[in-house]
């Protein structure tokens, strides 16, 4: 994990170094409209900000991927992060910074558009250089260029289906095992696009075990997201495990929750504490199982460490008051 973290930090540095030249407007641009890259905060390189990326990069070490290709895959991990976060910002009217940029006005939308376009150009640079130094060949580069988008499309389709709000709420198990697998679980397996395309001698059983463990961990994280976002998902009519559970098991509780959500109530899950604790406990169990399996596959930690890391996610997601209930 420590080695993966340091390697991933270097990959992030390289992505931003490559991105910089694309973010300067021409020298004759009027001062009020000039664009330039902003300083990348040191927080972008911390363990807390890169827990998921470090787990993904650890898989490359477990699978014995050669160092040059690990560097390639690590850069792709951060590009995926830029693409997915920028897209989420556009969809959810948020402004989580992944590409620091100095640009006129306070537009959230154009910042995300520029970040997406710059990331695509960095991808082209990275693949060209990897072919040039013999890390991969042209066939693999073309496949990675294509699959870097194609493998995101099922998640994009799920987001598109929610964009205008959902008319009905399916069974909660369908939300978890189908909808959330596409929405979030897929993103915890996207890091394997590189190895699956470029590594001819991967051990299939071990690869599948690591992918399954990361999927389990990702779905557990999504359950915690559903608890935290209960009010937001109710207002915006998004799929949510808790809302589906209430629709199918306690529909009489929804009108009062809807009124509170419409009034902008914060931490709406506190108004349905038993269900929130149940979902949080299930999420904790799934995260713990996934992390324990990763430990058994070679990350060399046991149940105690897996439990501690899983519980840390409650702090990461601002749900500390639920950690004890779970």
| Claim to verify: residue 200 and residue 91 sit in the same structural domain | no
CA distance 78 to 53: 8
Whether 158 maps to a domain, the answer reads: no
This prediction has a pTM of 0.93
Torsion angle defined by CA atoms of residues 128, 129, 130 and 133, in that order, rounded to the nearest 10 degrees: 130
145 and 175 in a common domain: no
Q: 247 and 185 share a domain?
A: yes
Containing 25, the helix (H) or strand (E) segment is none
What range defines the domain where residue 91 resides? 1-150
The most distant pair of C-alpha atoms in the chain lies apart, rounded to whole Å, by 64
- Closest-CA residue to 56 (of 84, 29, 97): 84
Q: What is the CA radius of gyration of the chain?
A: 21
Q: Give the number of other Cβ atoms within 10 Å of residue 243's Cβ.
A: 24
Query: What integer pLDDT is reported at residue 324 of this predicted model?
Result: 74
Tell which of 150, 185, 215 closes a domain. 150
Q: 7 with 70, same domain?
A: yes
Q: Report yes or no on 324 lying in a domain.
A: yes
pLDDT at 297: 93
Q: Are residues 40 and 144 in the same domain?
A: yes
Judgement on whether residues 143 and 250 belong to the same structural domain of the protein: no
Query: Could you read off the pLDDT tens digit of each residue along the chain, which spans 326 residues?
Result: 999 999 999 999 999 999 999 999 999 999 989 999 999 999 999 999 999 999 999 999 999 999 999 999 999 999 999 999 999 999 988 889 999 999 988 788 999 999 999 999 999 999 999 999 999 999 999 999 999 999 999 999 999 999 889 989 999 999 999 999 999 999 999 999 999 999 988 889 999 999 999 999 999 999 999 999 999 999 999 999 999 999 999 999 999 999 999 988 888 999 999 999 999 999 999 999 999 999 999 988 889 999 999 999 999 888 887 877 76
In angstroms, the CA 6 to CA 24 distance is 29
* CA distances for 306 relative to 46, 255, 326, angstroms: 20, 39, 15
Determine the pLDDT at residue 326: 67
Q: What is the pLDDT of residue 106?
A: 78
Same domain, 203 and 264: yes
Does any domain span residue 155?
no
Q: Look at residue 93 in the predicted model and tell me its pLDDT.
A: 86
Residue for token pair 């397996």: 189
Residues 115/101, Cβ–Cβ less than 8 Å: yes
Residues 11 and 121 in one domain: yes
Q: Do 24 and 128 fall into the same domain?
A: yes
Residues 134 and 99 in one domain: yes
Assess whether 70 and 176 both reside in one domain. no
- Residue 233 host element (H or E): helix 230-236
Residue 193 lies in a domain: yes
Q: Identify whether residues 265 and 122 lie together within a single domain.
A: no
Q: Give the tokens for residue 243.
A: 């809302």
The distance of Cα 30 from the centroid of its chain, to the nearest Å, equals 37
């Amino acid at each position: 994990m420590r080695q993966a973290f340091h390697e991933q930090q270097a990959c992030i540095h390289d992505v931003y170094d490559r991105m910089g030249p694309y973010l300067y407007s021409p020298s004759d641009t009027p001062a009020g409209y000039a664009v330039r890259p902003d300083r990348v905060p040191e927080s972008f390189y911390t363990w807390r900000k890169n827990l998921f990326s470090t787990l993904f990069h650890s898989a490359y070490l477990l699978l014995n991927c050669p160092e040059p290709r690990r560097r390639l895959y690590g850069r792709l991990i951060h590009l995926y992060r830029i693409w997915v976060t920028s897209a989420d910002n556009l969809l959810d009217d948020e402004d989580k910074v992944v590409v620091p940029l100095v640009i006129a006005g306070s537009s959230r939308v154009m910042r995300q558009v520029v970040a997406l376009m710059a990331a695509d150009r960095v991808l082209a640079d990275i693949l060209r250089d990897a072919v040039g130094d013999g890390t991969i060949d042209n066939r693999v580069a073309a496949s990675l260029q294509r699959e870097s988008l194609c493998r995101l499309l099922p998640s994009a389709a799920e987001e598109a289906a929610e964009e205008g709000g959902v008319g009905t709420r399916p069974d909660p198990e369908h939300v978890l095992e189908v909808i959330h697998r596409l929405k979030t679980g897929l993103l915890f397996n996207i890091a394997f696009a590189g190895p699956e395309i470029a590594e001819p001698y991967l051990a299939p059983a071990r690869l599948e075990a690591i992918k399954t463990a990361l999927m389990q961990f990702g779905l557990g994280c999504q359950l915690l997201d559903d608890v935290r976002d209960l009010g937001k998902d109710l207002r915006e009519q998004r799929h949510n495990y808790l809302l589906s559970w209430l629709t199918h098991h306690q529909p009489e509780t929804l009108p009062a929750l809807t009124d509170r959500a419409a009034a902008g109530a914060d931490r709406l899950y506190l108004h349905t504490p038993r269900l929130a604790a149940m979902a949080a406990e299930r999420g904790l169990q799934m995260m713990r199982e996934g992390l324990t399996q990763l430990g058994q596959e070679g990350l060399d930690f046991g149940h105690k460490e897996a439990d501690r890391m899983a519980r840390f996610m409650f702090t990461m997601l601002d749900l500390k008051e639920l950690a004890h209930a779970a």
